[in-house]
Amino acid sequence: MDVGKNCKVGSLTGGRLRRGMFAVAGLLAMVFCGAVARADDSCKALYDALTKVVAVPVHIYTTTVAGYNKDVPTSSEMIYSGGPTGAIYVMAAGKWTRTKMTGADMMSKQEENRRAAKDTCHVVREEAVNGEAATVYSSHSDTEGSKVDSTVWISKSKGLPLKEDINMDVGGTAGMSHMSMRFEYVNVKPPAV
């Protein structure tokens, strides 16, 4: 599956699991390959946070509303065990699966896409998320085949994303999609697969 021009996630197969994995693979791509801005000073904290999230254990909860799923809200989860050799797990259709990607793969893909990106970002405001002070960033990406607008809440004390909203327009039958994510860093354990 290709998401945008420069972010290939890999092909997925198999009935109901395939439909669920489509959303999760898209999430992986958008969180780490899209919705990031070109390398200028205004994007440094956003880049650093999106790189750092791959290096630490994190549990990401996502709700997606998308044209490809008739705008029916769906939930998915991801767990990163952290570090360059850390495993990445996704839950789709009620089942946990370990992906073939590692933290190092994600970091490498981030760097590759940042070099090719022609996106923009800026600080929007300061705002707390569950009582934690955060800086809110907005980014916009126009790539061949998609437009992505993202809002990311970065913890002021930890430099990690706490929350992210992504709006993506890929046109055609897939159309518009909206993802809302929350990131949790406490008591993260790899699932039994």
The 10 Å Cβ neighbour count of residue 5 is 13
* Residue 190 covered by a domain: no
Residue 159 sits in which domain range? 2-184
Identify the top-confidence range among 22-26, 82-86, 176-180.
176-180
The CA distance from 135 to 83, in Å, is 25
- pLDDT over 90 (residue 9): no
Confidence of residue 113 (pLDDT cuts 50, 70, 90): low
* Residue 192 covered by a domain: no
- pLDDT over 90 (residue 60): yes
- Within 8 A by CB and 6+ apart from 47, the residues are 36, 37, 39, 110, 114
* Residue 66 covered by a domain: yes
Specify the range with the lowest mean pLDDT, choosing from 29-38, 123-132, 151-160. 29-38
* Residue 193 covered by a domain: no
* Residue 178 covered by a domain: yes
User: Total domain count for the chain?
Assistant: 1
For 159-187, the pLDDT digits (tens) are 999 999 999 887 776 678 889 999 999 99
26 burial (CB, 10 Å; 0-12 / 13-18 / 19+) is buried
pTM metric for this prediction: 0.76
* Residue 159 covered by a domain: yes
- pLDDT for the residue 192: 84
- pLDDT over 90 (residue 157): yes
- pLDDT for the residue 121: 84
* Residue 117 covered by a domain: yes
Taking residues 57-64, report their average pLDDT: 92
- pLDDT over 50 (residue 38): no
Q: What is the CATH number of the domain that holds 27?
A: 2.50.20
* Residue 127 covered by a domain: yes
